[in-house]
Structure 1
Amino acid sequence: MRPSILRRLLRRVAAAAALALVATTLSTAAAVRPAAAAGGLQQVTGFGSNPGNLQMYAYVPSALPANAPLVVALHGCTQTANDYYTSSGWPKYADLWGFAVVFPQTTAANNPLSCFGWFDPAEDGRGRGEAASVVQMVEYAKQRYGSDGRRVYVTGLSAGGGMTADLLAAYPDVFAGGSVASGLPAQCATSQAAASGCQTGPQKLTPAQWGDKVRGAHPGYAGPWPRVAIWQGTADYTVYPANATALRDQWTDVWGIGQTPSATDGLPGGTTRSVYDDASGNPAVVTYSVAGMGHGLAVSPGSGTENCGATGAYFLNALCSTYHTGVFWGLDQGVPGGGEQLPAPSGLRVTGVTADSVSLAWDAVAGAGSYAVRRDGAQVATTASPSYTDPGRTAGTAYRYTVAAVDGAGAPGTASAQVTATTTGGAPARCFTATNYAQVAAGRARTAGGYVYANGSDQNMGLYNVFVTHTLRESPPGYFVIADTGCTA
């Protein structure tokens, strides 16, 4: 073989490897997964002009209600639509909560590793390539399945996560919300050569600069913006955790809400959830940091409501991210099978807190036989009166509540606006002022790529040296945020 040909082949192999957001061992795991059940995942043809050369697959539950939500789920590199259908858990909640799921699929004809083109302006921009094909699938689902155009959501893993962020930026008028799992901020890379650099450490941009990348994807659009969930493992060395920080900075800036969380709490699987509320007090951006998890989608096999998925390469046992994403989007509030829904209770308010309880009250709803109370997305009680006291809570902890009226047939209505209550007591917040070098030495921060990131929040503190000083506030224990003002060390 001539040296010039060999060099071209080696360059092509190296470029493909830079895009390998999911390792090639995934193909081995896929071989032992069960195939899609008959009548389950179905391929759809003729959904549009398909400028991105994608394939469309869909899962539509039987007796799908009219005007049901629609979820678009994007696989990672080397994966297929069937891999994601089988292992992500989305079909379970489509059946439980009543919505359709579209699974786009790219192929080696588009990319050697079957990666979505999150780094290619010809594929990820408004009206272009793969992004345009995905939106054509949405339009098809609205026409064919009667999906509600106001409740369309997109989620994806790794390269699919990168494309998810790009779709949210290019089509904020199409998608009401998104969920990026082990993915990249919108428009992080605009060339194949820059893709691997984004994976290991995105550009050191300010939140406003990251936000400008979203605003520039659909110039002139002024909102409303999609609500965004961000999932990241702390031990991900394929798409580094700095990407989750950049995503957080990007979408909180777009929402204009700052980068300090409104509430932080713990979930199963060593997961820290940080919520960033909009001006109305509703979650606009939520980050989920899974301690010790590598590169993949968090799943939790089992038969419980909060269990989902199948473990395998890049489907990692921690907690069911699909369940928590669906609750964040409000998919769990629908009434499968349709029918009239009772209105949302108004006036939900916190009437009292102690170290181990939260008391709530709300305005009664005509026709309600009872009320379903949800804490952090999971139903915790049913009560006949428009008030409830939630016992057994942890001191000094923030909890989020919604309430839905339930009719005489047991069908829940629309959920109320969310309120947050923090129990009294617990360890007070502590503040530490030190150089970045000393913060790392004390175990309050970590280093990556020459920069320092606060443990828990993953906020970028600047260069790893003795010349930059920050104050970190610790609350809850082990979770640190930058608090250079208003926090006495």
Structure 2
Amino acid sequence: MGQPHPPFRFAKSRRLTRGIRRWVTAAAGSLALTGGLVAVGPQASAAGLTQVTGFGSNPGNLSMYAYAPQALPAGAPLVVALHGCTQNASDYYAHSGWPTFADRYGFALVLPQTSSANNANSCFNWFEPGDSARGQGEALSIKQMVDKAVAQYGSDSRRVYITGLSAGAGMTANMLAAYPDVFAGGSIGSGLPASCATSVSAAYTCMYSPPDKSPAQWGALVRSAAPAGTTSWPRVAIWQGTADTTVQPANATELRDQWTDVWGIGQTPSRTRSLTGGTTLSEYDDASGEPAVQVYSVSGMAHGLAVDPGSGPEQCGSTGTYYLDTICSSYHTARFWGLDGAGQEPGPGSLPAPTGLAVASTADTRVSLSWNAVPGAASYEVYRAGTKVGSTASTAYTDTGLATGTAYGYTVAAVDASGAVGAVSASVTATTTGYTPTCHTASNYDHTVAGRAYQSGGSTYATGSGQAMGLWNTFTTHTLKQTAPGYYVVADSGCSA
């Protein structure tokens, strides 16, 4: 997917102070979509999606759209879904798959919509304290929509949930922190920790290199945003693609640290298992043994929302710009919240996780693994970075066709005679031998976004070597040679791979 815009110049607006802020924040707000500006879809008018007016004072200048299945009973749940930048309520409604489950499980949907009047890229202003804090701006407008929907549809105020994509996910995290008394659960798709940014410059830092705070520090930001004395917290699902260059995958780790700390639980998963679409699910249980925090890591997925078009019971949505064909995130999130009426996500097969997973040997393009046998196992599945790469009846496996000098993570699960896959083992990392140098010519900005360089104080430095490369912009170009994993040197005089 394309790279996000670098910062650009200020421009005038109808209201100078807010206008300047909104124009400059377009770059930061573009986290919801990785590329530059794309054509905004039609205003929310999809069949079944209707605009609701008169929902309150609306200090955030948002529009409210809603969908409710026919004959929706009183006391049904309510889901709030926040779109990403350059998108709108209709776009999210059409692609995310949430209407499918509103019909299947019986709940109402509210889809808030912002516009270019609020932000040049139609992003929710997740990085603005005046729009993301309790009782202010866009956050208050969303809360007023919840109140309106609860009254209009007779929704159960104890079962209100919120989800979002990217900038919508950043706002989701802030809403969960500011209104834990309103939301029973949340789902953060390619998003940021709550209160990660309170300015444009901080937004860039969060997107590309999130602060490595301790769980307690992250948790304190949530507790300070919530009403004093809060002791009950929402259950949180975190979705992140491993190939996301707009919101770095490290954000999922910081989000996990934040919400596990809020719940008072550790950062070691209670269980880890593999799902379809190259997805690894890690769950963190509360004191009662129920998952309080879930982390879904989607191998190879870029920036966007995970969907899985089709008619199967676990499929949903349609592909589009930043709606990526991997796994139906809405299905798994709905089950995590218990919207299907059957409780939490189903557990794995009964077989325990294999123990003793170890790297037997490595070569330039090959990794050999071994592990201890599991009683009752008919076979074993082997996963690389969460994606199944092979199956074997023995307790050894060799993975081939790999890149040289590259680290790979592996897990293994036992399969019983009925085909049920058991719990996934602890992971092990194997690094192939050798290294093939590569050459990259690009602007300093693009080098930084790709991770080949980093910026500090407006200047750019090569990752690994730390060599100075000049100003961080799109006009200064260098050639970098990668001589080892994570190590680049300036090679403007000539570079041969």
Aligned to 1:285: 293
What residue in structure 2 maps to residue 151 of structure 1?
159
Distance 1:200 1:77, change over 3 A: same
1:392 aligns with 2:451: no
TM-score scaled by structure 2?
0.67
How big is the shift at 1:393? 2.1
1:333 aligns with 2:341: yes
CA deviation string 1:297-335 (max 9, x = no partner): 00001111111111011000001000000000000117x
Q: Which amino acid aligns with 1:41?
A: L
Displacement, 1:203?
1.1
Tell me how far apart the structure 2 counterparts of residues 227 and 442 of structure 1 sit (CA, whole Å): 44
Distance 1:172 1:145 in 2: 21
C-alpha displacement at 1:29, in angstroms?
A: 8.1
Matched position secondary structure for 1:332: coil
Q: Deviations 1:334-357 (Å, cap 9, x if unpaired)?
A: 7xxxxxxxxx9xxx9x99976359
13-22 vs 280-289, which moves further: 13-22
Q: TM-score normalized by structure 1? A: 0.68
Calculate percent identity across the aligned residue pairs.
Answer: 60
- Asked if residue 355 in structure 1 is aligned to residue 376 in structure 2, the reply is yes
Provide the rounded CA distance (Å) in 1 between the counterparts of 2:285 and 2:67.
32
Q: Which residue of structure 2 lines up, in the alignment, with residue 167 of structure 1? A: 175
- Amino acid in structure 1 at the alignment position of 2:26: A
What amino acid is the match of 1:73? Answer: A
Distance in 1, matches of 2:453 and 2:257, equals 19
1:219 CA drift (Å):
4.4
SS across alignment from 2:334: helix
Query: For residues 206 and 101 of structure 1, do their structure 2 counterparts lie closer, same or farther at Cα, with a shift above 3 Å needed?
Result: same
**Contact 2:89–2:112 under 8 Å retained in 1:** yes
Which AA in structure 2 matches 1:20?
S
- Cα deviation for residue 441 of structure 1 reads 8.4
> Contact 2:40 / 2:87 at 8 angstroms: preserved in 1?
no
Deviation, 1:464, is 8.5
Q: Is the 8 A contact 1:230 1:248 kept in 2?
A: yes
Alpha-carbon RMSD across the aligned residues, in angstroms, is: 3.2
Q: Is the counterpart of residue 248 in structure 1 residue 275 in structure 2?
A: no
Q: Pick from 99, 102, 112: which aligns with 1:104?
A: 112
Structure-1 residue corresponding to 2:271: 263
Label 1:258 to 1:113 Cα distance change in 2 as closer, same or farther (>3 A): same
* Match of residue 325 from structure 2: 317
When residues 309 and 223 of structure 1 are mapped into structure 2, their CA distance, relative to the original with a 3 A threshold, is: same
Which AA in structure 1 matches 2:289? G
Name structure 2 gaps, 5 residues minimum.
1-7, 13-19, 353-374, 379-415, 436-449, 455-462, 466-497
Aligned length: 364
Find 1:273's aligned residue among 281, 302, 314.
281
Is it true that 1:232 corresponds to 2:240 in the alignment? Answer: yes
In 1, Cα distance between equivalents of 2:61 and 2:9 = 29
Amino acid corresponding to residue 18 of structure 1 in structure 2 = A
Question: Closer, same or farther in 2 for the Cα pair 1:270/1:351, shift >3 Å?
Answer: closer
1:30 positional shift: 3.8
Deviation, 1:246, is 0.6
**Alignment of 1:65 onto 2:70:** no
1:392 aligned partner, one-letter code: G
Aligned residue among 3, 20, 42 for 2:30: 20
Contact 1:270 / 1:290 at 8 angstroms: preserved in 2? Answer: yes
Q: What secondary structure does 1:43 align onto?
A: strand
For the residues of structure 2 that align with 1:104 and 1:41, how far apart are their CA atoms?
12
Cα pair 1:297 1:316 within 8 Å, conserved: yes
Counterpart secondary structure, 1:281? coil
Which residues in structure 2 correspond to 1:113-128 (within 5 Å)? 113-128=121-136
Residue number in structure 2 paired with 1:78: 86
Offset of 1:144 from its aligned partner?
A: 0.7
Aligned equivalents of 1:165 and 1:20: distance in 2?
17
Structure 1's 449 and 70: CA in aligned 2 closer, same or farther, altered over 3 A? Answer: farther
What residue number does 1:302 align with?
A: 310
Q: Do residues 199 (structure 1) and 199 (structure 2) align?
A: no
Change (3 A) 1:145 1:35: closer
Question: Distance in 1 between the 2:432 and 2:204 partners?
Answer: 26
For residue 202 of structure 1, report the CA deviation from its aligned partner. Answer: 1.2
Asked if structure 2 preserves the Cα contact closer than 8 Å seen for 1:19 and 1:196, the reply is: no
Unaligned stretches of 5+ in structure 1? Answer: 1-5, 335-343, 358-388, 399-427, 433-437, 452-462, 466-489
